[in-house]
Amino acid sequence: MQYPPFLCFYGFGNYFFVILSFKLLWSQYNMERQILLTEQQINTIHKIPLFRGMTDESKKTLLDRIDYDIKPIKKGEVIIRQGTPCVHMHILLKGNLEVNIVDVSGNNVKVENLIAPRAFATPHLFDGNNIFPATFTVVEDGIWFKATKDSVFKLISSEPELLKNFLRLTGNCNACTVSRLRILSYKSIRSRFIYYIFEHKKGDSLSIMEHNQTQLAEYLGVTRPALANELKKMVDEGLIKIDGRNVEILSTSQLIKYI
């Protein structure tokens, strides 16, 4: 009987010593991984909307009941690509992520920026088609926390308050996604902007924009000069008035025709 060359070289005793050493190193790595979470980061996890309302006792054992990993992420790094399976719960503990989708025309469209601390991609974890609909790129160095799907499922199943939070966040995320995709479905800048201000109405004729003009151009998937030019046209046509982030709607009936 012939043994593999590396067994012949090391001998059986040395071989098992190598295996034992590897296991010890792996165990040490896992212990060090747990230590990477500071008290401040643990408190941050407890305060995100997903874990709000849990009892102090449940929070103390939270991290002991899930199989998780944490990783430093660097600017420019793509941590998740569109079309890949979602098999973890994701939390951005520190940093900033840019979320982009490739539309049917092959255009790269910015969806939003995720600023820590925040859980993200929550609806896709237990979706029947658990595929990421977007690509996530690091724009500011940070810390990325992720926990396995199975361990999260067990945790949610044992914590009614956590289950309610999860369902509420999933609903909110789906609503945001639908709104965002609806905006991008319009071909013209004017139609996209009108839909946006209707979504942000605070009264019959007042809309308050969440973004400045540069951010809004990115959100609408257009250039800033093109957006500025279109807004000037709408003001000149007597459709709207703009004062900072406040938009006064002067002719609702005319605006509706564009959407």
* Token reading at 95: 């940093």
CATH of the domain at 195: 1.10.10.10
Same domain flag for 177 and 210: no
The answer to whether the Cα torsion of 25, 26, 28, 33 is positive or negative is positive
Specify whether 99 is located in the same domain as 207: no
Instruction: Based on the fold, state whether residues 63 and 115 are members of the same structural domain.
Output: yes
- Do residues 138 and 100 make contact, with C-beta atoms less than 8 angstroms apart? no
Residue that finishes a domain, picked among 157, 184, 211: 184
3 state SS of 109: strand
What is the C-alpha separation between 209 and 85, in angstroms, rounded? 34
Residues 166 and 143 in one domain: yes
Q: What is the DSSP string of 216-252?
A: HHHHHTS-HHHHHHHHHHHHHTTSEEEETTEEEES-H
Longest dimension (CA), the chain: 92
- pTM for the predicted model, two decimal places: 0.62
Of the residues 168, 184, 200, the one at which a domain ends: 184
- Structure confidence at residue 178 (pLDDT): 63
- Select from 122, 151, 184 the last residue of a domain: 184
Do 179 and 68 lie in one domain? The reply is: yes
In terms of domains, do 59 and 180 share one? yes
Same domain, 134 and 154: yes
Instruction: Compute CA 171 distance to the chain's CA centroid, rounded to the nearest angstrom.
Output: 14
Residues 105 and 22 in one domain: no
- Claim to verify: residue 125 and residue 25 sit in the same structural domain: no
Query: Taking the alpha carbons of 176, 182, 187, 191 in that order, is the dihedral positive or negative?
Result: negative
Q: Give dist(CA 194, CA 206) in Å, integer.
A: 12
Q: Count CB atoms within 10 A of the CB of residue 20.
A: 10
Number of domains into which the chain is organized? 3
Enclosing domain of residue 150 = 39-184
| Domain identity same for 47 and 122 | yes
pLDDT given for residue 35 in this prediction: 43
Q: How far apart are CA 185 and CA 191, in angstroms?
A: 10
Per-residue pLDDT of the chain (259 residues; tens, 9 = 90+): 454 554 444 454 554 454 555 555 545 544 444 447 899 999 999 999 989 888 999 999 999 999 999 999 999 999 999 999 999 999 999 999 999 887 656 777 777 889 999 999 888 888 778 889 889 999 999 999 999 999 999 999 999 999 999 888 877 765 666 677 778 778 899 999 999 999 889 988 999 998 888 889 888 888 999 999 999 999 999 999 999 999 999 999 999 999 8
Q: Are residues 169 and 195 in the same domain?
A: no
Residues 170 and 50 in one domain: yes
Which residues, 6 or more positions from 249, have their beta carbon under 8 angstroms from its beta carbon? 197, 201, 205, 206, 207, 239, 240, 255
